[in-house]
Structure 1
Amino acid sequence: MSRRADAAVLLLAAVAVAGCGEAADGDPVLPQDAAAAAQVELVDVPGLGPVLADGDGFVLYMFPPDARARVTCTGPCAGSWPPLAVADGVTPVAGDGIDPELLSTLPDPNTGGHVVTYGGYPLYRYASDVDPGTAYGQALLLNGAPWYVLDAAGQPLTTDPEATP
């Protein structure tokens, strides 16, 4: 009986290790697709002014732990804060008021593609922003740090919209 238990443990360990290899191609728990195109534009949000948004007008956020160099929001975090992801070789498009020199990409551990960055910050949407031009995630403390919108210069706005007249 002990040999069967040992064999079962070894089999489960082998399956777990084999499953880990899939993470390089995307998060197997939270599959997301990398888009064939992405545009970054400005939208005016009451209490905040013009902030970055995707091509559909949904506000984009930055996450300070990314430290302008990496994507740290993966797995369940990316379920609440899906990254603005594009497929390999896709160049994001700058809309009116967006500096194309500030647009770039970083490898995305969620999709296997790339996350669009602005001023070095990876860009994310907030799942509770169900309508374009809303910013319910602004200054929201989730996943260990606050989330902020960015202005056209690529600077995080640390203003809490509730405190703004």
Structure 2
Amino acid sequence: MKRTTWAADWAAGAAVLAAVSLATAVTTGCSAGSDKSSSTVSQAEESAKAKTPAATATKQAGVVPTASPTGPASLSVHNTGLGRTMVGARGFTVYRFLADTTTRSTCTGACAAAWPPVLTVGEPKAGSGVGSGVKLGTTKRTDGGTQVTVNGHPVYYFAGDKKAGDTAGQGLNQFGAKWWALDATGKQITKMSSASPSGSPSPSGTNTGSGGGGY
């Protein structure tokens, strides 16, 4: 009788232990699943927060076009403080660098950061107001990009221009030569406007000198 009772007690104890183990496993699994779910939601929220500033930045107006283009650049002519002036993407003024005496750009590195090249994918197009005699072309940059040329000279934007029609780069003497906006025929405009003070300081680290050359 005692042996039978011992065997029955052992079997009952084993059953209870198995039930407790199963309950523990289920509880642990649910807890882990809950933690994983919370972690996933938290990561998604953090990811969304991290992307929000960048997404907002891309939508901000008044930023000089510097991103890689996805198609042909288009130049047109708008009224500015300098008169009828040639502009590129989103109406930003384009400039000629007098140090560029050929189709090859001499503005790289810090210069290209202050004066972003007007880039294109494919042949650039003449938009509204551009004279019929203007010759638009392209030149390969040392960084591999394709830059727009006007009448055989590379053209650029100015990082100091904050909105369409600004001409803050007009007449500045930076990186060894002067910078001039262009008229509807592609010729440099040498007059100044109130929006383009000739005394604007050069960016840190620039080399200034006398400009030269023209169309």
Q: TM-score, normalised by structure 1?
A: 0.72
Higher normalized strand content (fraction of residues): 1
Tell me the equivalent position of 1:136: 168
Distance, in Å, in 2 between the alignment partners of 1:124 and 1:131 is 15
Q: Structure 1 residues 34 and 74 mapped into 2: Cα distance closer, same or farther (>3 Å)?
A: farther
Higher normalized helix content (fraction of residues): 2
Do structure 1's residue 76 and structure 2's residue 110 form an aligned pair? yes
Q: State how 1:1-165 maps to structure 2 within 5 Å.
A: 33-46=68-81, 48-87=82-121, 90-99=122-131, 101-110=134-143, 112-162=144-194
Amino acid at match of 1:118: V
Q: What is the Cα deviation at residue 158 of structure 1?
A: 1.1
Q: Secondary structure at the match of 1:153?
A: coil
1:73-116: per-residue Cα shift (whole Å, max 9, x none)?
001100000000123xx011110121465111111223x12110
Q: Structure 1 residues 86 and 150 mapped into 2: Cα distance closer, same or farther (>3 Å)?
A: same
Question: Aligned-residue CA RMSD in angstroms?
Answer: 2.1
Q: Structure 1 residues 135 and 104 mapped into 2: Cα distance closer, same or farther (>3 Å)?
A: same
Amino acid at match of 1:45: T
Greater shift, 73-82 or 151-160, is seen at 151-160
Aligned length: 130
Q: Structure 1 residues 159 and 36 mapped into 2: Cα distance closer, same or farther (>3 Å)?
A: same
Distance, in Å, in 2 between the alignment partners of 1:83 and 1:127 is 10
- Higher normalized contact order (CA 8 Å, seq sep 6+, divided by chain length): 1
Q: TM-score, normalised by structure 2?
A: 0.56
Amino acid at match of 1:134: D
Q: Which runs of 5+ in 2 are unaligned?
A: 1-65, 197-215
Distance, in Å, in 2 between the alignment partners of 1:42 and 1:125 is 14
1:62–1:156 CA contact under 8 A, matched in 2: yes
Amino acid at match of 2:115: W
Q: What is the Cα deviation at residue 156 of structure 1?
A: 0.5
Distance, in Å, in 1 between the alignment partners of 2:141 and 2:68 is 11
Q: Structure 1 residues 97 and 163 mapped into 2: Cα distance closer, same or farther (>3 Å)?
A: closer
Percentage identity across paired residues of the two chains: 35
Q: Secondary structure at the match of 2:77?
A: strand
Q: Which runs of 5+ in 1 are unaligned?
A: 1-30
Distance, in Å, in 2 between the alignment partners of 1:32 and 1:109 is 17
